[in-house]
Structure 1
């Protein structure tokens, strides 16, 4: 008889050193995610929160219209050279390039501010590229390449009341997204998600693994691939959560920078960027297809 699963609060992702790209890549392959503590100092995390407070909404951003909604600032890399440092964090960027290729780039960078009262998201996978039998994935007969990954910079001390990310390690090997609890909802739910090819539902257990919260300290990070099942959660505290996301992708995946379709790179930012950062923002050498 299997032992009961521990309570969510008792479960934690193993910590992986920032300057150990091989172990980060292994965790992405095995668990679909890697927890990397202490990437930013407390002072750096606080300064990043201050910078988010200074952002203004542009076209395409999400606004806190009722005092209980998320402020979502897109393409923050293009607003000031301050944000360049988050593109190529030492060690982490080496793991990213190991998995996505040396010509990978970002497809987005978003800052989030979640005040008290923000509601939880539904559990979902950000992007399913190749729906496939989980038996093939679990057996190792088929190994899916990584197409997109997201790096979360947690800028506050995150407990269960302050919007932690919930995750099911290993669920990227399901070969699909979580299903709705009611099969009758499935067609409508999938119709709503068709454009993004995101897949979501209410199925919060996969092969005996239940979702659990990633509680952490300000400055900690989590890197995860697009197929893993996860969700954001409610803010039941009296504090505001700050989060920075960097989305990395293979070169063949289009960059997604609003406003569409006339996005322009900020020349001040490009001039301040190093060669790797410029490539991350889209300055590629000529190759196949352009």
Structure 2
């Protein structure tokens, strides 16, 4: 039995939280196989930039369009329960991508995953209490391969950097000591979009696989290229539960429409 309120508190305090074994090693291997299958698909490899299926030869975009197994991960429990506790019961997925990081590669620059929401924090007389700072967007990252040592290129985070009021682009100095999120296939971690993080260099001889789903509060727009012209493929909704449909963006009417 997981302590969900405790995990939520850890996310607010530290900017990230770790959840071991959210899926089995076998399930992770199946998803890893699907990622590799998609990556090697000639249509994916030859698609032009207007298709936006592959970025930088490491990021597979809108992976939920590829196979129902990825769509079903949107509502994986207890992950989705945590996400709804943090972002509200009307939250939705804003992006879902897969990372395939071969030897010698890595998303090595420190970054945050959205605009800087709270630039005033660095002007406060003391470090803000994380529980008072709302989380608007977050990433759920599920390891699809073992990343149990630094040489395999784990995600690194800087604890409490979501409270720094700064972003890496304007502040080369780190606001804390990096922590490597070592994991086994099937482990997951939640990262506040404001937390400084990166994918450290893969210095091993094996490829690193990661499924990343970003969620946002209802008022945060989905980031599905080409944005205003994006249409969810009909097959994605086939067999989807009511919860999955809402996470995909099928909301009830609201104040603005």
Q: 1:142 to 1:98 in 2, by over 3 A?
A: closer
Q: 1:1-290, aligned counterparts within 5 Å?
A: 19-55=2-38, 56=41, 57=44, 59-63=51-55, 70-127=57-114, 128-134=116-122, 135=124, 138-140=127-129, 143-158=132-147, 159-178=149-168, 199=169, 201-204=171-174, 206=175, 209-290=176-257
Structure number with the higher helix fraction is 2
Q: 1:115 to 1:100 in 2, by over 3 A?
A: same
Q: What are the Cα deviations for residues 184-242 of structure 1, in whole angstroms up to 9, with x where unaligned? A: xxxxxxxxxxxxxxx465323x2xx3112111111110101111111111111110111
Query: Could you state the TM-score of these two structures normalised by the residue count of structure 2?
Result: 0.88
Q: 1:100 to 1:137 in 2, by over 3 A?
A: farther
Q: Which 4+ stretches in 1 moved above 4 angstroms?
A: none
Q: Distance in 2 between matches of 1:62 and 1:235?
A: 19
Larger deviation: 37-46 or 76-85? Answer: 76-85
Q: Distance in 2 between matches of 1:101 and 1:219?
A: 25
Q: Distance in 2 between matches of 1:241 and 1:174?
A: 30
Verify the 8 A CA contact 2:23 2:187 in the aligned structure 1.
Answer: yes
Q: Distance in 2 between matches of 1:111 and 1:73?
A: 5
Q: 1:247 to 1:136 in 2, by over 3 A?
A: farther
Q: Distance in 1 between matches of 2:165 and 2:63?
A: 32
Which structure 1 residue ranges, 5 or more long, are not aligned?
Answer: 1-16, 65-69, 179-198
Q: RMSD across aligned C-alpha pairs, in angstroms?
A: 2.0
Query: Could you state the TM-score of these two structures normalised by the residue count of structure 1?
Result: 0.79
Verify the 8 A CA contact 2:121 2:128 in the aligned structure 1.
Answer: no
CA shift at 1:98, angstroms? 1.1
Q: Distance in 2 between matches of 1:136 and 1:38?
A: 40
Verify the 8 A CA contact 2:53 2:62 in the aligned structure 1.
Answer: no
